[in-house]
Amino acid sequence: MRIALFTEAYLPYLNGVVTHVKILKEGLEELGHEVLVVTADARTNRHFIKDGVLYCPAAQIKKLYDYSVARPISRRRLKLLDAFDPDVIHIHNEFGIGLFGVLAARSLRVPLVHTLHTMYDDYIYYVAPKPLTNVTKRVTYRYARFLAGRAQVLTSPSTKAVGYYELAGVKKPVHIIPNSVETDIFSPSAATSEEKLALRRQYGIPEEATVAIFVGRIGKEKSIDVLLEIWKQQCAEDERLFLVIVGDGPFLEEYKALAETLEIPNVVFTGRIPHDALPPYLCMADVYVSASTSEMHSISMLEGMASGLPVLQRRDPENQEQIKGGKNGYIFETAEEMGERLREIAAMSPGQKMMLKKSVAATVADQNSTEIARFMLDIYALAAGELEKETAARLAARAEAIRYGSPGITEPGEDPMVDTLE
């Protein structure tokens, strides 16, 4: 099968969508399929294909994390895509490249799959002033209906997409396909004891301290200000606890200043860390923490889990399925709940912490590139109308189950993660 994956950004640029597309491409190729990634690139002024990637001339948008945005219409691009002769087009973004994918699918008469990765309501402040928020939402909902109407199948890594599409007036089912993680790169053994100790010393963190870590874009939507406020209330005076915030973004300096204003001595901002240098940072931590409610299905969180870090996640009713029954973390609603869970982990012995890391890593061990590729192949067959009735019924039932109830939410009294340590 020949599959064209459309994404506004691709390597060496890194974000959750890029990682998702990279893992999907690798999985599909491992299963013997041919993949072409179509992406915008402001570094080039011509269209060319190299190593399975079609690079398209684009303009760089500084306000949107230096995103490259390409024109949605190009005869040269369409000619190169036609030569690849795709069996299916799969778009992962909604800007110039995504719109080109929609137009190309119609022109070449091939099925279109659309994966929604982003809750755009949480990002409107990047492009519109507050007084225009409602108007901008109406425009984005109309555009969402347009894209959904052209796609044969809709997918997303999160049940949040169901609610978003309902607000936009889209009636189609959404197939939820969780993100995958590079378990060959991220694991509890990805760094030696010496490497972990060296990192702690680099940032002035005591060897015996318990480290909570957050990794991601330092933007307003990540609610790092909320995390800092919680940390001030619960952890600022505890010398055993450190918070490490990894990443860069437009709010980095503002949040650094907030930490100083709140007089929090045990918070470290590392700035941008290259993705290939990230595993030791996760390995030297003890828990992954996030107050963000804008995530779809956080790949950074998955990388933390693969590294053995239990997650402390602020309750996000539409996206609770990533925290599974206490097996890989806990959901908190109040600062007190987060502080209590963090102190429970801090009180564990080194042996208990290691057992916990292994237990958490095991929960994502099968979320690899091959599994996501197999699932997507069923989606592509569904889009092309080539699925066997039994498989089509299974996919439809799964979509409906997700639509009307989120699986994997911890029930009161369940705490299997702690049970494994007793």
Q: Residue range 269-289: average pLDDT? A: 95
List all residues 6 or more positions away from 22 whose beta carbon is below 8 Å from its beta carbon.
Answer: 10, 11
CATH superfamily of the domain spanning 193-365: Glycogen Phosphorylase B; (3.40.50.2000)
35-44, 274-283, 320-329, 410-419: range with lowest mean pLDDT: 410-419
CA-angle at 223, arms to 219 and 229, nearest 5°: 130
| CA–CA dist 379, 153 (Å, integer) | 7
Rg of the chain over Cα atoms, rounded to whole angstroms, equals: 22
How confident is residue 408, by pLDDT bands cut at 50, 70 and 90?
Answer: very low
pLDDT at 327 over 90: no
**What local confidence, expressed as pLDDT, does residue 398 receive?**
60
Distances (CA, A) of 310 to 16, 65, 214, 276, 359: 20, 29, 12, 21, 9
CA nearest to 7, candidates 86, 69, 89, 92: 92
pTM: 0.83
- List, in sequence order, the alpha helices (H) in 269-319: 278-283, 299-306
pLDDT at 418 over 50: no
Element containing residue 265 per DSSP (H, E): none
| CA–CA dist 347, 342 (Å, integer) | 9
Name the residue ranges covered by the structural domains of the chain. Answer: 2-176, 193-365
Looking at residue 318, what DSSP letter applies?
G
| CA–CA dist 215, 298 (Å, integer) | 10
Architecture of the structural domain at 2-176? 3-Layer(aba) Sandwich (3.40)
Please write the tens of the pLDDT for every residue from 179-216.
Answer: 889 998 999 999 999 999 999 999 999 999 999 999 99
pLDDT at 69 over 90: no
Which tokens in the block code for residue 74?
A: 């190009």
